[in-house]
Structure 1
């Protein structure tokens, strides 16, 4: 298995995905876009993972690497590579597939329930998941569902939490991959003021069992999507 992942911030990495890949002896490559790393050929990998980041997908002047990254993601999708996008990554995929990405009515940061809709419950990736599960979130923007894609899930704060496009593209707005150590690092970089759907670190970081459960769900999803 040849996996390539895209990084947008030093403090955001694949979390629990990294040991899952190591256990399967995957060949893993990385491009850090802000550092100016060169993007590979799409022939160099079987699956692409597009991670999150604090920027917005429309901030091209501040982040000129966004435009070539979007072209790269489009090429990977057209080449039928498996493509998984998480948070910013899902928004970049949605944009590439022709769906608007806009500010969400509320920022959503912390532990909030995600509900699978009828399509989500029936989809093979989520078929035996609970209809409602608690997930870690950290986003201010949201994607519309791309033409031809299936909307799979929502939360109280965000109408679109997951989508699939064909058999090879998956976008997740929430963060199943984040470990407890990752979340501590994120709050060290930025601690948003609490509001309706923004929780303070003392409500988030002690939830070790919740992080562990999210990581198990992420690994189960990887088995189905990449396995």
Structure 2
């Protein structure tokens, strides 16, 4: 099982996705696209993971790899290979399939409740979760659903929280990879940004981590394992 991971920002952690890939014995190649490293070779990998970043999915001038990344995600998806886009990755996947990127229209931060749609209940990945679950959010943008996509999860802040295109190309607006260790690391690197984003959240974090963190971690690992099961080595 050969998996390419594309990082779009310096502070990127695989979290629950990394745990699930390690359990499956995946061979992982990490590409730091934000620093100019070339995108992965399609033929050399069975699956593609694209993580988040501070840029928006149309910020081609500052991040010229984004159009090529969108094309690569679509090539993986059209071939039936497994794709996982998280936060920015989901927005680039939506772009790849003709969705509109809605910049700054859906700010959301912290552990938040998300609900499965009817399609999500029948989906091979989302079906592992209860109808409502917790996951970590950190985004300002959202997207319209690409034509033909299955709408899998939603909440009041951003209707399109998860979708699937084709066999196994998945976009998740929420950071289900972000377990409690990842969240603590983000707090260490970005305390001022978090305080501006959600005033008082850092002070509330110890209680939130105790009450909401374990539930989010459980849901995130279940999702990660279910997505990894969609990888078909070729």
TM-score (norm 2): 0.88
Consecutive unaligned residues of structure 1, counting only runs of 5 or more, are none
Give the conservation status (yes or no) of the 8 Å contact 2:4–2:49: yes
In the comparison of the two structures, how many residue pairs are matched?
225
Give the conservation status (yes or no) of the 8 Å contact 1:180–1:205: no
Higher relative contact order (CA 8 A, sep 6+): 2
Q: What SS does the aligned partner of 1:221 have?
A: helix
Q: What is the match of residue 97 of structure 2? A: 97
Alpha-carbon distance in structure 1 between the residues aligned to 2:28 and 2:98:
29
Alpha-carbon distance in structure 2 between the residues aligned to 1:20 and 1:221:
9
Alpha-carbon distance in structure 2 between the residues aligned to 1:180 and 1:115:
21
Aligned-CA RMSD value:
1.9
Alpha-carbon distance in structure 2 between the residues aligned to 1:100 and 1:192:
29
Q: What is the match of residue 201 of structure 2? A: 200
Deviation at 1:15, TM superposition (A): 1.3
* Structure with more of its chain in helix, by fraction: 2
TM-score (norm 1): 0.90
* Structure with more of its chain in strand, by fraction: 1
CA offset digits 1:185-205 (Å, max 9, x no partner)? 32332324255xx77223345
1:216 aligns with 2:218: yes
Q: What is the match of residue 163 of structure 2? A: 163
Q: What is the match of residue 148 of structure 1? A: 148
Deviation at 1:16, TM superposition (A): 2.1
1:78 aligns with 2:78: yes
Deviation at 1:163, TM superposition (A): 0.5
Give the conservation status (yes or no) of the 8 Å contact 2:128–2:223: no
Q: What SS does the aligned partner of 1:34 have?
A: helix
Q: What is the match of residue 55 of structure 1? A: 55
Give the conservation status (yes or no) of the 8 Å contact 1:138–1:175: yes
Alpha-carbon distance in structure 2 between the residues aligned to 1:205 and 1:4:
34
Alpha-carbon distance in structure 1 between the residues aligned to 2:12 and 2:41:
23
